[in-house]
Amino acid sequence: MSKQEALWGGRFSTGAAERLQSYGQSVSYDWRLYKYDIRGSIAHATMLKEIGILQTDELNQIVTGLKEIETLIDKGEFQWRQDREDVHMNIEAALTEKYPAGAKLHTGRSRNDQVATDVRLWIKDQIQTNQKAIRALQLSLVKWGERDKTVVIPGFTHLQRAQPVLLAHHLLAYVEMLERDHERLADCFKRADVLPLGSGAIAGSTLPLKRELVSQLLGFSKVSQNSMDAISDRDFVIEYAAAAALVAVHLSRLSEDLILWSSAEFGFIRIGDAYTTGSSLMPQKKNPDIAELARGKSGRVIGNLMSLLTLLKGLPMTYNRDLQEDKERLFDTADTIQASLEIFAEMLGDIAVNSNSCRKAASDPLLLATDLADWLVKQGLPFRKAHHAVGEAVALAEKTGTPIDQLSIADLKKISSVFTEDALSVFSIEKGLNARLMTGSPNPKLVEAQLSRWLSSLT
């Protein structure tokens, strides 16, 4: 029997061109689905025994052989062959060589529904792995917030100093972002948790396959309801890639903050030596390379999403070989965000904060200009007029070179008669933070409560 006949039967009179074999193979990357392929095959064989296709001794041979192959792969002793195209044919061919009953294993299934099942099983596990890493990073951020919960920094809009906030409040913003990531992945899990096996190549099978039994054996919560959709559906892959792209974007934004904060111009933090690199030319350099790499890798993850969307956009029903191209993009996305999440969780535990630099940067009285406008509002002045009056005070301070909190009341009264001596009392960071009592604000007590809440839920 020729190599091509072994793959897809007697339709072809000649073997495949050598270049076709190397061009069309996917085993060089889809081999990593082997555990899921074996799990799916054992469940399928169990079902075939249930409907009388396999005898008990044949099922035992198949299960024994598949477990032996899994052990060999685990040990790195299995020989993957490109002339067998993919992970499925490599495993099935190796099984059949030793156990003749293996020739019955493919009864009632196609490689189309087989790979769809493998990828769904793989992605379900990957989602749970990513979620654990997200939780670890959230905990690292919360612990950092606990370590430095009294540190005040300037909050920024347009990368310009805006208002003072607690560093912990800033870090908790990323905890919230990551929580949404965790939720999106959980939602993606629901769409992946559907069994396609039994759909065949397009129209199911004339055999009395018990798909619900296979679904139960493999831990799926649902069985697909349309055979054509089941084998062509890669929405769950794109949904995962989209959720992962947002994880990557959030890590990129965190990276940018860390890069800025660690610069000499900011001087807010110092990243530990274990998570920085030097320069091959300049001996004084200490570079935040992990953050820069994560910022750069986000482009890869976003690109993978675009690639997958483009892959699907022009495909007719049902399975098309184009879909083989989904796995490299999927695997790269999963590997990239998992590695980034893990190393960030470690790195954040090795960051020291320069509280004096942070305090100095947050002490510019102009950061409390909005508080001064709020004070005028409390005296009955409409906000637009209050905003204009404080704007004039800022202009006067800049023109005279006088800090706004040191302008005389006489000067302020020339701007608005509403000003009194008490107006200058707003120029206190502590008073400003404590005055923010609404939910979600950087009030120290509220931030403390948020830290406690998150610490409790993450440990």
Phi, psi of 212, deg, nearest 5: -65, -35
Q: Which element (helix H / strand E) includes 166?
A: strand 160-166
Cα separation, 92 vs 69, in Å, equals 10
Give the closest residue to 145 by CA, choosing from 126, 165, 163, 169: 169
Q: For the beta carbon of residue 238, count every other beta carbon within 10 angstroms.
A: 21
Q: Which element (helix H / strand E) includes 254?
A: helix 235-262
Give the closest residue to 182 by CA, choosing from 237, 220, 137, 118: 137
Catalytic residue among 2, 22, 263, 279: 279
Distances from the Cα of 220 to the Cαs of 184, 192, 319, 369, in angstroms? 19, 9, 22, 57
Task: Look at phi and psi of residue 317 and say left if phi exceeds 0, alpha if psi is from -120 to 50, else beta.
Answer: beta
Inter-helix orientation angle 111-147/34-50, to 10°: 130
**Residues across the chain:** 459
Concerning whether 279 is annotated as a catalytic residue, the answer is yes
| The CA-based dihedral angle spanning residues 224, 225, 230, 236, taken in that order and rounded to the nearest 10 degrees | -60
Q: Given the structure tokens 């009953």, which residue do they identify?
A: 101
Cα separation, 179 vs 158, in Å, equals 25
Q: Given the structure tokens 């969307």, which residue do they identify?
A: 309
Give the closest residue to 428 by CA, choosing from 360, 358, 365, 361: 365
Contact 407, 397 (CB under 8 A): yes
Q: Given the structure tokens 């695997």, which residue do they identify?
A: 331
Distances from the Cα of 177 to the Cαs of 286, 425, 443, in angstroms? 29, 35, 20
Inter-helix orientation angle 369-378/383-400, to 10°: 140
The single-letter DSSP state of residue 432 is: H
Give the closest residue to 235 by CA, choosing from 293, 134, 305, 152: 305
Adjacent-strand bridge partners of 351: 271
Concerning whether 416 is annotated as a catalytic residue, the answer is no
| The CA-based dihedral angle spanning residues 104, 63, 39, 48, taken in that order and rounded to the nearest 10 degrees | 40
The single-letter DSSP state of residue 271 is: E
Catalytic residue among 13, 158, 280, 456: 158
The sign of the CA dihedral 118, 121, 125, 127 is positive
- Which are the catalytic amino acids? 158, 279
